């Protein structure tokens, strides 16, 4: 290949370490056309509940998304008496059974719902109702990780505060304390603190 294209500066740096002197270009991806049309047709913010946190996580139910950390953080919020509801949206995968078991173990079945994949229009409505968007990503032992998840950009475009982790290319999108919050990976307590704060 004469050149390679990647979607984060972090990936570009990594590829240049693998192949010094290669022509590696970084091109950030944007929102898809369907989502852009939905944004144009609606005000960014929906009617968000004022007394109850409405937390949203979106992504395939895989371990690198960190949804188990989100559910554990919900357990911390419940112990603290913080009123909340959490919705996790995305196609089922290897982490799904463990997530459902954790929800049951923590007694959160009435406060945490795990839904399947949604259409872009349905997901847009979930963004509009959310108080905060949470995606506590992690790097897996085999190096598997997210780049810059599209769902973070979608949530931000809808005006939803985002809480995520500083892995891979995410800090290229989120400036901690400015346009979102970055918390340590695998820390339900730190995540709960950020969500409740």
Q: Read off the tokens for 196.
A: 């409740």
In the structure encoding, which two tokens stand for residue 84, read together? 């909340």
Q: Which positions ≥6 away from 140 have C-beta within 8 Å?
A: 63, 64
For the chain, 197 residues long, give each residue's pLDDT as a single digit of tens: 899 999 999 999 999 999 999 999 999 988 888 888 888 888 655 555 568 999 999 999 999 999 999 999 999 999 999 999 999 999 999 999 999 999 999 999 999 999 999 999 999 999 999 999 999 999 999 989 899 999 999 999 999 999 999 999 999 999 999 999 999 999 999 999 999 98
DSSP letters, 85-153, are EEEEES---TTHHHHHHHHHHTT-TTTEEEE----HHHHHHHHHH-SEEEE-----TTS---SS-HHHH
Output DSSP code: residue 24.
Answer: E
Match 């009435």 to its residue by tokens.
Answer: 110
C-alpha dihedral sign at 61, 65, 71, 77? negative
CA distance 197 to 103: 23
Instruction: Give the contacts of 56 (CB within 8 A, at least 6 positions apart).
Output: 86, 87, 88, 89, 126, 127, 129, 130, 132, 133, 134, 155, 160
Q: Quick one: pLDDT at residue 44?
A: 58
State how beta strands 132-135 and 24-26 pair. Answer: unpaired
φ/ψ of residue 115, rounded to 5: -105, 165
Q: How high is the pLDDT of residue 31? A: 87
Distance CA 155, CA 162 (A): 7
How much is the pLDDT for 42?
80
- Residue-level pLDDT at 30: 83
What's the pLDDT at 92?
97
């Amino acid at each position: 290949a004469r050149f390679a294209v990647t979607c984060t500066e972090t990936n570009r740096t990594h590829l240049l370490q693998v192949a010094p002197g290669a022509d590696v270009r970084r091109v950030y991806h944007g929102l898809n056309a369907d989502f852009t049309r939905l944004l144009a047709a609606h005000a960014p913010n929906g009617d968000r509940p004022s007394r109850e946190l409405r937390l949203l996580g979106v992504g395939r139910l895989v371990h690198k998304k960190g949804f188990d950390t989100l559910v554990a953080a919900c357990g911390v919020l419940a112990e603290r008496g913080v009123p909340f509801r959490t919705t996790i949206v995305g196609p089922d995968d290897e982490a799904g059974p463990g997530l459902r078991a954790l929800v049951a173990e923590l007694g959160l079945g009435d406060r945490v719902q795990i839904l399947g994949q949604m259409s872009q229009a349905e997901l847009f409505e979930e963004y509009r109702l959310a108080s905060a968007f949470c995606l506590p990503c992690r790097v897996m032992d085999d190096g598997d990780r997210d780049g810059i998840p599209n769902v973070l950009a979608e949530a931000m475009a809808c005006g939803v505060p985002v809480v995520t982790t500083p892995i891979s290319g995410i800090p290229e999108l989120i400036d901690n304390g400015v346009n979102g919050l970055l918390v340590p990976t695998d820390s339900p307590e730190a995540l709960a603190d950020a969500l409740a704060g």
